[in-house]
C-alpha cells in the first residue's frame, strides 16, 4: 500500500517535471518568435505589410512587389527552407535570378548597427536574422 502511494507520488512528480519543462521550452520559443516579430514590424512591415502579405505602405514606390511572406512554404511545395530564407534576408542569396536586387541587405545593416565586424557583432546580427526567420516560419499558411 505504502509503496503504491509512493509510486503514485513519484508518477505525479515526474509528470509535473515533464509538464514544466515543456512549458519552459514553449516560453523560450515564444521569446524568440516575438523577438523576431518585433524586428519584422520595425524593419519589414513597411514593404511586406503588417501581416506579411506584401501590402506595406512603401509598395507604391517599388518597381517589384514585395513577396507575400506567408506563402514561402506553399510556393516551395510545402517546405519552408530555413537557411535559404536566412540567406535571402542576410543578403548573400539573390532573391531573383536576374536583375537588380530590390530587397534590402539586412546582414550588413544589422552588423553595422552592432558596430563592428568582430565575432560578437557578427553573432548579434545573425541572432536578429535568426529571430526573423523563426518568425516567418511561424506565419506560414
Ligand atoms: C524596401 C522594401 C523591402 C523591405 C523593407 C523588406 N523587403 Fe523583403 N522583399 C522586398 C521585395 C521587393 C522582394 C521581392 C524580391 C525581389 O527583390 O526581387 C522581397 C523579398 C523577400 C523575401 C523572399 C521571399 C521569397 O518568396 O523567396 C524574403 C524572405 C524577405 N523579402 C524578407 C524580408 C524581411 C525579413 C525583411 C525585414 C528585415 C524585409 N524583407 C524587408 C522588399 C523589401
Tens digit of each residue's pLDDT, the chain (141 residues) = 566 777 777 777 777 666 666 666 688 899 999 999 999 999 999 999 999 999 999 998 888 889 999 999 999 999 999 999 999 899 866 665 444 567 788 888 898 899 888 899 889 999 999 999 999 999 999
Give the mutation target among 103, 104, 126, 141 for probing the ligand 1 site: most ligand atoms within 8 A of CB: 103
pTM, to two decimals? 0.83
CA atoms within 13 A on the CB side of 76: 14
d(CA 105, CA 23): 36
Amino acid at each position: 500500500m505504502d509503496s503504491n502511494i509512493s509510486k503514485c507520488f513519484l508518477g505525479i512528480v515526474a509528470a509535473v517535471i515533464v509538464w514544466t519543462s515543456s512549458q519552459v521550452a514553449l516560453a523560450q520559443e515564444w521569446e524568440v518568435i516575438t523577438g523576431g516579430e518585433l524586428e519584422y514590424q520595425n524593419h519589414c512591415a513597411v514593404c511586406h505589410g503588417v501581416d506579411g502579405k506584401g501590402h506595406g505602405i512603401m509598395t507604391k514606390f517599388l518597381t517589384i512587389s514585395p513577396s507575400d511572406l506567408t506563402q514561402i512554404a506553399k510556393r516551395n511545395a510545402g517546405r519552408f527552407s530555413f537557411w535559404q530564407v536566412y540567406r535571402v534576408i542576410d543578403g548573400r542569396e539573390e532573391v531573383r535570378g536576374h536583375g537588380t536586387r530590390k530587397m534590402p541587405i539586412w546582414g550588413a545593416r544589422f552588423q553595422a548597427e552592432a558596430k563592428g565586424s568582430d565575432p560578437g557583432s557578427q553573432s548579434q546580427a545573425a541572432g536578429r536574422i535568426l529571430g526573423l526567420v523563426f518568425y516567418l516560419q511561424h506565419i506560414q499558411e
